[in-house]
């Protein structure tokens, strides 16, 4: 399928992808120069569900996340959100279409204040009152952001920065969130806060793709699981069926 223009979302009818799927990825190929990273990746995410995307380092997890968010080009394949093509669409248009990507390593503007970070995120919604409501939602989810609103984002702790990143993503009520290694480098108590925020997103009806290092935590939280191996799907199924033998085979007995 050819891509849409860089600033437009494809004109397919919303909701006309695979039955019940919010995100549909078919035969996705991504390369960095001559180095191939994804080899015909196929996966779908059911609307309102949580999909855990797992795999060892170098398996292509973050490449997948960046590709569906429009941050790196795909050479072949289909990426659809609610039946609308996102292939070749510019990142800001992907965001406006309802897909929010939280990259590994936060996803904030460290040189801006907390409130200005939230204002930047809210720019994708309509009028002033809607933007104010978006900021209020982020603060309601993570009250610490309200008390830190005048601080530079760079002065926040690692956990607070992740709350800001998640608050930015959820403030505008996206259709789908791709959260890439949000717990990376965080203390266990802060990981709990991150997962509490993701649980709040799920309760809002937001579909979640969770790229995560804490395998068992991700499997407990998710409905479905896809394990990547060398740029391909190695295993896929209900999260509850990813037993010890599957984890050992594909992840080497990771946490």
**Mean pLDDT taken over the chain:** 88
pLDDT digits (tens, 9 = 90+) for 168-210: 999 988 999 999 998 888 888 888 888 998 999 999 999 999 9
Q: How many CA atoms lie within 13 A of 189 on its CB side?
A: 2
Domains identified in the chain and CATH numbers: 1-98+174-255 (3.40.50.300), 108-173 (no CATH)
Q: What is the mean pLDDT of residues 64-92?
A: 95
Question: pLDDT band at 20, cuts 50/70/90?
Answer: low
Taking the C-alpha atoms of residue 209 and residue 139, their distance in angstroms, rounded to an integer, is 23
Q: Is pLDDT at 115 greater than 90 in this prediction?
A: yes
Strand pairing class (224-229; 232-238): antiparallel
Strands (E), 103-205: 176-180
Residue 219 reports pLDDT greater than 80: yes
Give residue 191's pLDDT.
87
- Choice between 244 and 255, residue whose per-residue pLDDT is larger: 244
Whether 171 and 19 have beta carbons less than 8 Å apart is answered as no
């Amino acid at each position: 399928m050819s891509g849409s223009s860089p600033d437009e979302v494809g004109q397919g009818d919303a909701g006309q992808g695979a039955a019940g799927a919010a995100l549909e990825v078919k035969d996705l190929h991504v390369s960095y120069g001559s180095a191939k990273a994804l080899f015909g990746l196929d996966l779908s995410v059911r609307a309102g569900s949580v999909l855990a995307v797992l795999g060892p380092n170098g398996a292509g997890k973050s490449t997948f996340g960046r590709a569906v968010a429009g941050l790196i080009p795909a050479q072949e394949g289909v990426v659809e959100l609610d039946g609308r093509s996102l292939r070749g669409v510019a990142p800001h248009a992907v965001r406006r279409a309802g897909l929010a990507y939280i990259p590994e390593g936060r996803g904030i503007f460290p040189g801006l204040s907390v409130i200005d970070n939230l204002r930047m995120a809210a720019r994708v919604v309509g009028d002033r009152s809607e933007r104010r409501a978006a900021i209020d939602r982020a603060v309601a989810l993570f009250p610490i952001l309200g008390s830190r609103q005048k601080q530079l984002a760079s002065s926040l702790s690692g956990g607070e920065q992740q709350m800001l990143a998640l608050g930015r993503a959820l403030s505008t009520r996206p259709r789908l969130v791709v959260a890439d290694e949000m717990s990376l480098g965080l203390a266990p108590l802060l990981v709990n806060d991150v997962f509490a925020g993701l649980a709040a997103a799920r309760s809002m009806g937001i579909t979640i793709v969770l790229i995560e290092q804490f395998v068992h935590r991700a499997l407990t939280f998710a409905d479905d699981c896809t394990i990547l191996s060398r740029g391909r799907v190695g295993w896929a199924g209900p999260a509850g069926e990813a037993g010890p033998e599957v984890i050992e085979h594909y992840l080497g007995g990771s946490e």
